[in-house]
């Protein structure tokens, strides 16, 4: 076995070896699962000990193997283990880690300039990213885009824009929603532990509505009926006249990959249009080819007024966006939006490389192929295991919900056991859900079929052994 030369070398700047960069990650890495130590291995354990003394305990890691290289469908750790990546760094590296077009654009950009601040002296790549997002997001109306650093920042700005454009203050959000960790987005997020506990007081004028969650909803309720239930609550508790925006993840991410019943999103969107309310689709996890469409709302032909993107947008570099109707985006006074780093030139170059990759490799088709391969296997293992209540998702955004005896009672303990077993076998899976009982799959959309099948086999075995 040949271990790439970077493995095991400390990554600190004092010992940085520029030659090693050339031979590092990307799709050229052997696309194989390879365990050469226990998981985590000794070097990871050593780094984890250093981390404990240096990094805030408030930041945790799902799997403390320290990464040396990554690409295609694998992560290689500092001990030389090669793990199958079914998480993409939480839906970020959809185009693969160190994707060639991203690396090439970033290298070129970083050698020209690293920052000017778009609000001081602008640059072309920012404008090009905006043009691309205006073109790719749903609807053929005139659009504008503003760029930010993180998903939470994009959501905050979408709310600012909706309030500024409508002159209204209230925002309706949903059960199980996750929108970020800043003060406003904590208020928009549903789950207390770990996201909100002890961090209040939170921003006001946020109203939580019932979500369409078919597995846990009133049996037989349609998407339209679930939307009417939420709308009726909004009308009674807030009043359309005071409502600036309805903010929703078209497929919920951290809340458990909840796919609302068909008809739910179109009915909400239509009501918003009829009442002058801004319909904001938070596509930060579900957007950019993840579900087999550019955006999850495309599945039902919904055209949001504002769309937030981040995660998959820039192949791993921090970049986020709000894209939407020109009249809303331009309603904000000049200087009202922005930020020192928003739309950093290197991150914009990365986004252009990532979008090229999505188009050239047709990653929407790749996501649909992942669903075709994985969904039937998940359904079959659910039937055999008796510990799974629901299998759901779309494209490369799939999940299994663990419940006691396959009923409704959440079973987070089994989800944790299964996740740990996968990790020990070198397969990176993530958990999520309001009840912590969901295992979600978010593979890089460029993952090879053999590797995906192998990862699924290990997951299945772990489920059946739990
Ligand atoms: C739907 C959604 N919105 C917002 C966010 C926040 O993004 P960030 O972590 O980049 O702030 C996330 C992150 O998981 C998300 O999934």
pLDDT tens string 8-63: 333 344 444 544 445 589 999 999 999 999 999 999 999 999 999 999 999 999 99
How does DSSP classify residue 341?
Answer: S
How confident is the model over 397-414, as pLDDT tens digits?
999 999 999 999 999 999
pLDDT of res. 7 = 38
309 CA → ligand 1 middle, Å:
9
How confident is the model over 293-346, as pLDDT tens digits?
999 999 999 999 999 999 999 999 999 999 999 999 999 999 999 999 999 999
Task: Give me the percent of the chain exceeding a pLDDT of 70.
Answer: 95
Mean pLDDT in residue range 442-461: 98
Mean pLDDT in residue range 448-466: 98
pLDDT of res. 22 = 53
CA atoms within 13 A on the CB side of 71: 18
How does DSSP classify residue 142?
Answer: -
Q: Which are the contacts of 132, defined by CB distance < 8 A and separation ≥ 6?
A: 351, 352, 355
Q: Which helix (H) or strand (E) holds 350?
A: helix 345-360
Rounded to 5 degrees, φ, ψ at 384 are: -80, -30
Structure token pair of residue 309: 């993107």
Rounded to 5 degrees, φ, ψ at 440 are: -115, 145
E strand intervals along 19-81: 67-71, 74-77
pLDDT of res. 374 = 98
pTM of the entire predicted model = 0.95
Rounded to 5 degrees, φ, ψ at 64 are: -80, 55
345 CA → ligand 1 middle, Å:
21
pLDDT of res. 36 = 98
- Residue with the smallest CA separation from ligand 1 atom 4 is 179
Which residue in 337, 370, 297 sits closest to 159, CA to CA?
337
- Residue with the smallest CA separation from ligand 1 atom 8 is 151
**Rounded Cα gap, residues 69 and 137, in angstroms:** 32
Top mutation candidate among 91, 151, 158 for ligand 1, by most atoms within 8 Å of CB: 151
- Residue with the smallest CA separation from ligand 1 atom 9 is 151
**Rounded Cα gap, residues 120 and 339, in angstroms:** 11
151 CA → ligand 1 middle, Å:
5
Helical spans, DSSP H, in 36-123: 42-54, 88-91, 100-112
Residue list, ligand 1 pocket, CB within 6 Å: 90, 150-152, 155, 178-180, 249, 253-254, 282, 284-285, 310
Top mutation candidate among 310, 339, 432 for ligand 1, by most atoms within 8 Å of CB: 310
- The neighbour count for residue 117, using CB atoms within 10 Å, is 16
- Residue with the smallest CA separation from ligand 1 atom 10 is 151
How confident is the model over 118-129, as pLDDT tens digits?
999 999 999 999
């Amino acid at each position: 076995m040949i271990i790439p030369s970077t493995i095991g070398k400390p990554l600190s700047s004092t010992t940085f070896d520029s030659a090693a960069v050339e031979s590092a990650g990307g799709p050229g890495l052997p696309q194989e699962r390879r365990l050469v130590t226990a998981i985590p291995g000794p070097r990871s354990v050593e780094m984890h000990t250093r981390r404990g003394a240096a990094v805030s305990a408030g930041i945790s890691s799902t799997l403390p193997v320290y990464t040396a290289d990554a690409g295609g469908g694998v992560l290689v750790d500092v001990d030389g283990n090669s793990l199958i990546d079914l998480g993409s760094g939480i839906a970020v590296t959809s185009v693969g880690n160190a994707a060639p077009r991203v690396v090439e654009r970033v290298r070129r950009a970083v050698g020209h300039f690293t920052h000017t601040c778009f609000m001081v002296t602008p640059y072309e790549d920012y404008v090009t990213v905006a043009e691309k997002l205006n073109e790719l997001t749903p609807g053929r109306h005139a659009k504008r885009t503003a760029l930010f650093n993180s998903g939470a920042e994009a959501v905050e700005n979408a709310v600012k824009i909706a309030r500024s454009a409508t002159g209204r203050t209230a925002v309706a959000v949903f059960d199980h929603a996750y929108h970020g960790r800043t003060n406003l987005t904590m208020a928009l997020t549903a789950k207390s532990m770990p996201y909100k506990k002890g961090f209040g007081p939170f921003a006001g004028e946020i109203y939580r509505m019932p979500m369409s969650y078919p597995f846990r909803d009133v049996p037989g309720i349609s998407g339209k009926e679930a939307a009417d239930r939420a709308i009726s609550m909004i009308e009674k508790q807030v009043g359309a006249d005071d409502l600036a925006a309805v903010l929703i993840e078209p497929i919920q991410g951290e809340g458990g990959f909840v796919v609302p019943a068909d008809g739910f999103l179109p009915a909400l969107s239509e009501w918003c249009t009829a009442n002058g309310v801004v319909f904001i689709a938070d596509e930060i996890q579900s957007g950019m080819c993840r579900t087999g469409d550019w955006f999850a709302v495309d599945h039902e032909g919904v055209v949001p007024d504002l769309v937030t993107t981040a995660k998959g947008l820039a192949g791993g570099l921090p970049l986020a966006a709000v894209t939407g109707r020109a009249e809303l985006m331009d309603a904000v006074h000049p200087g009202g939006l922005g930020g020192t780093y928003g739309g950093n030139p290197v991150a914009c170059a990365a986004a252009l490389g990532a979008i090229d990759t999505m188009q050239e490799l047709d990653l929407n088709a790749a996501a649909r192929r992942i669903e075709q391969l994985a969904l039937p296997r998940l359904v079959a293992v659910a039937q055999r295991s008796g510990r799974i209540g629901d299998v759901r998702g779309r494209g490369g955004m799939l999940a299994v919900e663990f419940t006691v005896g396959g009923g409704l009672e959440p079973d987070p303990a089994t989800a944790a056991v299964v996740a740990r077993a996968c990790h020990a076998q070198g397969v990176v899976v993530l958990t999520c859900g309001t009840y912590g009982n969901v295992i979600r799959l978010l593979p890089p959309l460029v993952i090879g079929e053999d590797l995906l099948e192998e990862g699924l086999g290990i997951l299945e075995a772990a489920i059946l052994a739990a």
